[in-house]
């Protein structure tokens, strides 16, 4: 009987199963707990996902166990968290303890259990978004307007007691922008935005994150319209400033490029060339530099010519003992101790532009072979001034390092400087006086000397030109009068003015040698003063090509520059006219050699040997060509 | 007369008791700096701010160490979770939620924090040496272990300073839990050993969170007058 009942029941059950299977009914599928989250670290909610329900009404039950407790609890609240959820209230939430949550789905045919879900509440905190996001464009009194953003933490989170510490992040974008601009706000609940585009509509969102938790969702958007008078970014102003300064720079560069040369001239004035009045080339050639120099008495020092431009280029000899030959624009007398100083080849200053020492010595070397001589030695005596050792060089060949010519030694602190003009004779003229005058003062036979001197002066003038002052220009050059500097009255140098019997001190117009300019190496470019006679016109026709130079043999008495003619190079040809003793071949050789060895010449000009001081016009010439 | 005297005595005693009770500090709040001295309050604020910074970093380090270990060795496998035995510091009386924490006296809370930190001195020391001895000792875990050991020491110092400032004259706290898991860290069976490490790191992460949480509560309560 019992067996029958059991089997019957089994059959019925199978039948039901069969029927339900035929109907598509089955035990429920395995449910799954999807996630558990806590919004404030005081409660938490778990959500599940159902498997198939098997076509039958299914019961779902959530169970959980707490750490180290063997009690199985059932979910206290299935509704508060929404559908398919289990809500654990504060009472049921224990922190710092592991929860194991699982659920079962049961229907008529069976049940199935989910996998256990382990959860620790402190690690599943995901807060709600912040609340009450407010936007406002503020216009403070003495500041630029800005966008003021303020919000509040979610209500349920306890920040006050320090249970949770929140950090915030905001993001904003203009209405039509594609990307958000995110800013981290730390623990503060307000934020300022300073640079916004005026006239645009902005959207703002905020979210929060607890310490050791996860970020919340972004809050709902809040929008604000920026007024049109909102100040623009400072970058616009800076761009404007940059463009303006770039334009100014470009204009400056352009101006400099255009007028670069004149500006450079302004900043670095060129070395003035010496203008020597009364220069006798013959004297130079003869080698009697002393006499020549003594003849170059300058009675007017400094020069006051109307050629203001040339003044800039005047010779300025800066003595190491600070004596100045010819300050460019000074109208004062030189100090008695003025004397030519050594030429400093490296100096770029406009002063000390020639080294009479070196030049003279070099000239001695160079002209040793030169047959051109000024035979003035017999005519010009060595001045008896104890100080001045200037003599007109007798013979170029006879100008060794320590020949009969005593050159002015600039190192000696002697007063062999430009001679002071006589009282009453001091006119604002160039200190370069006629050589003839100097020779006159030096004394000695006038006639032959005068002739020679005349010729020498002419030749000197051919390639030299004094610094023209107004009065100098007015002064006509005596045809046969050489230009010498006025020596000191006390000097006994014989300088003769052939056509004048008056003392040389008179300011008769004489031939002048004009120093065209002095280059940076201190070499003088002397040009003959323009004359009325044909000879000189010939010479003056090519003033540029014939940069004729006078070689300063020495300086006497503070204001006498003794110049010697340079027999070489272009001067050679001219020399030939007047001095027939010059062998052309030698001159040509010399000229060729000079031209060929221009750099060497220049250096030679500067080289000083034997303490001979003179200027080598050749050097100058070469330097100019 | 004697009755009057005795009643007077009783009255004065009662008065004394009542005044003492009134003067008793509240659990939730009460001025620490008796004079209201600004420098005293500022100092306490600085102490708490500094301690909170350190405890926050302490928890960050332990979280990183745990996650690194889990990623490398256990991958969050159920096996290890099930064999979780709890922590050696669970014997210490700990609030389990916010309400309980807020009802705990500040002094007790401070002592609890101090005890937890003391309880971790030993395990952290051995953790470093055992991690060093592991094959393919991961540098990330080792470096963090070393740093956590330092942090533990620094926090203990900080706690002692705070206690001496907030509760001067309080009895020194020497309560801590003894750790006996060293043998399990040295087990031959690799899975058992990994399980032991997992346990330890899991407990460290949790306890560091407790310390951090309690300190922040105390900070807001004591230094900011419940108005963080």
From residue A111, give the alpha-carbon distance in Å to each of A13, A73, A104, A171, B25.
17, 18, 7, 49, 58
pLDDT in the model for residue A527: 59
Tell me which residue in A41, A95, A162 faces B96 most closely, judged by beta carbons: A95
A75 — pLDDT class (breaks 50, 70, 90) = very high
Chain B residues with CB inside 8 Å of A95's CB?
Answer: 96-98
- A-B contacts at Cβ under 8 angstroms: 66
Chain A residues with CB inside 8 Å of B86's CB?
Answer: 67-68
Cross-chain Cβ contact B96/A163 below 8 Å: no
From residue B137, give the alpha-carbon distance in Å to each of B68, B80, B129.
12, 20, 11
Task: Tell me which residues of chain A, numbers 327 to 346, contact chain B at a CB-CB cutoff of 8 Å.
Answer: none
A403-425 confidence digits (pLDDT tens): 343 433 434 444 444 444 444 44
Q: B81 — contact with chain A (CB < 8 Å)?
A: yes
Cross-chain Cβ contact B84/A120 below 8 Å: no
pLDDT in the model for residue A327: 42
Cβ neighbors of A101 (< 8 A, separation 6 or more) are: A33, A36, A46, A62, A63, A64, A86, A116, A117, A118, A119
pLDDT in the model for residue A324: 44
CA distance between the termini of chain B? 58
Measured CA to CA, the distance from residue B61 to residue B39 in angstroms comes to 33
Q: Does residue A602 have a pLDDT over 50?
A: no
**Is A352 or A246 the better-scoring residue by pLDDT?**
A246
Q: B165 — contact with chain A (CB < 8 Å)?
A: no
pLDDT in the model for residue B60: 96
Contact A361, A564 (CB under 8 A): no
A33 — pLDDT class (breaks 50, 70, 90) = very high
Tell me which residue in A93, A120, A163 faces B217 most closely, judged by beta carbons: A163
Q: Over chain B, what is the mean pLDDT?
A: 86
- What 3 state SS string does B123-188 have? HHHHHHHHHHHCCCCCHHHHHHHHHHHHHHHHHHHHHHHHHHHHCCCCCCCCCCCCCCCHHHHCCC
B179-224 confidence digits (pLDDT tens): 998 998 888 888 888 889 999 999 999 999 999 999 999 999 999 9
Chain B residues with CB inside 8 Å of A116's CB?
Answer: 78
**Is A41 or A445 the better-scoring residue by pLDDT?**
A41
If you measure CA to CA, which chain B residue comes closest to A121? B97
- Residue A276: CA count within 13 A, CB half-sphere: 56
Min mean pLDDT across A80-94, A144-158, A238-252, A506-520 is at A506-520
Which of B70, B85, B98, B211 has the highest number of chain A CBs within 10 A, making it the mutation to test binding with A?
Answer: B98
pLDDT in the model for residue B85: 74
Choose from A109-118, A148-157, A596-605 the range with maximum mean pLDDT. A148-157
A272 — pLDDT class (breaks 50, 70, 90) = confident
Question: Average pLDDT of A333-341?
Answer: 43
Q: Does residue A557 have a pLDDT over 50?
A: yes
Measured CA to CA, the distance from residue A167 to residue A215 in angstroms comes to 9
Cross-chain Cβ contact A212/B63 below 8 Å: yes
Torsion over CA: B13, B19, B25, B31 (sign): negative
Task: With residue A561 as reference, give the H or E element that holds it.
Answer: strand A560-565
Q: What is the DSSP letter of A484?
A: B
Cross-chain Cβ contact B212/A212 below 8 Å: yes
Which of A95, A101, A114, A210 has the highest number of chain B CBs within 10 A, making it the mutation to test binding with B?
Answer: A95
Strand, coil or helix: B47: helix
A506-516 confidence digits (pLDDT tens): 444 556 666 66
Question: Average pLDDT of A394-398?
Answer: 41
Question: Average pLDDT of A569-586?
Answer: 44
**Is A354 or B141 the better-scoring residue by pLDDT?**
B141
pLDDT in the model for residue B2: 62
Chain A residues with CB inside 8 Å of B224's CB?
Answer: 162
Tell me which residue in B78, B206, B228 faces A160 most closely, judged by beta carbons: B228
Q: Does residue A246 have a pLDDT over 70?
A: yes
Cross-chain Cβ contact A161/B217 below 8 Å: yes
Cross-chain Cβ contact B98/A96 below 8 Å: no
Chain A residues with CB inside 8 Å of B60's CB?
Answer: 212
pLDDT in the model for residue A186: 94
Q: Starting at the earlier edge strand, list the strands of the sheet with A131-138.
A: A131-138, A146-152, A190-193
Nearest C-alpha of chain B: how many angstroms from A193?
Answer: 25
Q: B213 — contact with chain A (CB < 8 Å)?
A: yes
Measured CA to CA, the distance from residue B141 to residue A215 in angstroms comes to 26
Question: Average pLDDT of A573-588?
Answer: 43
Q: A98 — contact with chain B (CB < 8 Å)?
A: yes
Choose from A193-197, A475-479, B110-114 the range with maximum mean pLDDT. B110-114
Cross-chain Cβ contact B96/A120 below 8 Å: no
Nearest in space to A120 (alpha carbons), one of A95, A145, A102, A103:
A95
Measured CA to CA, the distance from residue A372 to residue A399 in angstroms comes to 12
Question: Average pLDDT of A601-607?
Answer: 45
Q: B86 — contact with chain A (CB < 8 Å)?
A: yes
Question: Average pLDDT of A450-476?
Answer: 45
Kindly state the tokens that stand for A521: 């190496």
Q: Does residue B127 have a pLDDT over 90?
A: yes
Nearest in space to A162 (alpha carbons), one of B53, B216, B78, B34:
B216
Q: Over chain A, what is the mean pLDDT?
A: 66
Question: Average pLDDT of A50-56?
Answer: 78
Q: What is the DSSP letter of A110?
A: E
Q: Does residue A86 have a pLDDT over 80?
A: yes
Which of B116, B213, B219 has the highest number of chain A CBs within 10 A, making it the mutation to test binding with A?
Answer: B213
Measured CA to CA, the distance from residue B59 to residue B71 in angstroms comes to 18
Question: Average pLDDT of B121-139?
Answer: 87
Q: Does residue B122 have a pLDDT over 50?
A: yes
Cα pseudo-dihedral A558, A560, A562, A563, rounded to 10: 120
Task: Tell me which residues of chain A, numbers 115 to 174, contact chain B at a CB-CB cutoff of 8 Å.
Answer: 116, 118, 120, 122, 158-163, 165
Question: Average pLDDT of A232-257?
Answer: 88
A522 — pLDDT class (breaks 50, 70, 90) = low
């Amino acid at each position: 009987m019992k067996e029958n009942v059991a089997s019957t029941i089994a059959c019925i059950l199978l039948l039901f199963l069969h029927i339900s299977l035929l109907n598509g009914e089955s035990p429920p599928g395995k449910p799954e707990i999807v996630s558990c989250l806590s919004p404030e670290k005081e409660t938490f909610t778990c959500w599940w996902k159902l498997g198939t329900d098997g076509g039958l009404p299914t019961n779902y039950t959530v169970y959980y166990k707490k750490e180290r407790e063997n009690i199985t609890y059932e979910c206290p609240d299935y509704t508060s968290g929404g559908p398919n959820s289990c809500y654990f209230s504060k009472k049921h939430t224990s922190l710092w303890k592991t929860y194991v949550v699982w659920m079962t789905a049961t229907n008529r045919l069976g049940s199935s259990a989910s996998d256990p879900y382990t959860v620790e509440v402190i690690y599943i905190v995901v807060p709600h978004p912040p609340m009450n996001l407010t936007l406002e464009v503020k216009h403070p009194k003495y500041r630029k307007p800005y966008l003021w953003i303020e919000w509040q933490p979610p209500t349920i989170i306890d920040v006050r007691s320090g249970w949770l510490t929140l950090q915030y992040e905001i993001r904003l974008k203009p209405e039509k922008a594609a990307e958000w601009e995110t800013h981290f706000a730390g623990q503060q609940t307000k934020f300022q935005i300073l640079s916004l585009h005026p006239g645009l509509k902005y959207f703002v969102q905020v979210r929060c994150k607890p310490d050791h938790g996860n970020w919340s969702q972004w809050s709902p958007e809040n929008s604000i319209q920026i007024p049109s008078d909102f100040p623009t970014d400072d970058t616009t102003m800076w761009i404007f400033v940059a463009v303006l300064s770039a334009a100014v720079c470009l204009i400056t560069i352009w101006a400099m490029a255009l007028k670069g040369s004149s500006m450079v001239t302004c900043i670095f004035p060129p070395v003035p060339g010496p203008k020597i009045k009364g220069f006798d080339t013959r004297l130079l050639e003869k080698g009697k530099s002393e006499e020549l120099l003594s003849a170059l008495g300058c009675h007017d020092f400094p020069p006051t010519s109307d050629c203001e431009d040339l003044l800039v280029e005047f010779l300025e000899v800066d003595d190491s003992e600070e004596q100045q030959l010819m300050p460019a624009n000074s109208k004062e007398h030189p100090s008695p101790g003025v004397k030519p100083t050594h030429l400093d080849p490296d100096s770029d200053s406009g002063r000390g532009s020639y080294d009479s020492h070196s030049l003279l010595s070099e000239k001695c070397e160079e002209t040793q072979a030169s047959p051109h001589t000024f035979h003035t030695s017999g005519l010009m005596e060595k001045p008896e001034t104890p100080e001045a050792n200037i003599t007109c060089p007798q013979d170029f060949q006879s100008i060794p390092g320590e020949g009969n010519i005593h050159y002015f030694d600039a190192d000696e602190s002697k007063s062999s400087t430009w001679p002071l003009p006589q009282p009453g004779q001091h006119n604002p003229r160039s200190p370069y006086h006629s050589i003839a005058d100097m020779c006159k003062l030096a004394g000695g036979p006038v006639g032959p000397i005068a002739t020679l001197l005349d010729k020498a002066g002419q030749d000197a003038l051919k390639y030299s030109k004094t610094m023209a002052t107004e009065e100098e220009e007015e002064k006509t050059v005596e045809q046969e009068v050489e230009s010498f500097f006025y020596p000191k009255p006390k000097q006994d140098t014989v300088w003769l003015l052939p056509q004048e019997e008056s003392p040389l001190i008179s300011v008769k117009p004489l031939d002048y040698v004009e120093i065209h300019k002095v280059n940076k190496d201190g070499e003088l470019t002397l040009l003959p003063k323009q004359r009325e006679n044909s000879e000189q016109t010939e010479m003056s026709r090519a003033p540029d090509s014939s940069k004729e130079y006078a070689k300063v043999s020495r300086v006497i008495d503070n204001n006498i520059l003794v110049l010697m003619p340079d027999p070489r190079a272009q001067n050679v040809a001219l020399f030939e006219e007047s001095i027939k003793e010059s062998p052309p071949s030698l001159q040509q050789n010399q000229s060729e050699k000079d031209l060929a060895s221009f750099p060497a010449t220049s250096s030679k000009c500067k080289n000083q040997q034997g303490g001979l001081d003179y200027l080598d016009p050749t050097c100058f010439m070469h330097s100019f060509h | 007369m004697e009755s009057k005297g005795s009643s007077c005595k009783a009255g004065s005693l009662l008065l004394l008791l009542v005044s003492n009770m009134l003067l008793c500090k509240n659990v939730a709040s009460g001025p620490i700096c008796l004079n209201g001295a600004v420098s005293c309050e500022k100092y306490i604020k600085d102490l708490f701010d500094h301690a909170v910074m350190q405890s926050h970093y302490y928890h960050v380090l332990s979280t990183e160490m745990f996650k690194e270990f889990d990623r490398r060795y256990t991958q969050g496998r159920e096996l290890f979770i099930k064999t979780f035995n709890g922590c050696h510091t669970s014997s210490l009386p700990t609030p389990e939620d916010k309400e309980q924490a807020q009802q705990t006296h500040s002094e007790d809370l401070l002592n609890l924090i101090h005890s937890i930190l003391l309880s971790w001195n030993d395990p952290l020391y051995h953790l470093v040496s055992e991690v060093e001895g592991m094959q393919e000792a991961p540098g990330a875990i080792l470096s963090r272990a070393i740093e956590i050991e330092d942090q533990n020491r620094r926090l203990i110092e900080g706690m002692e300073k705070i206690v001496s400032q907030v509760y001067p004259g309080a009895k020194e706290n020497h309560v801590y839990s003894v750790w006996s898991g060293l043998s399990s860290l040295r087990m031959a069976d690799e899975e058992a050993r990994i399980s032991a490490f997992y346990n330890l790191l899991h407990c460290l992460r949790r306890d560091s969170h407790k310390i951090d949480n309690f300190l922040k509560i105390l900070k807001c309560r004591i230094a900011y007058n419940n108005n963080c």
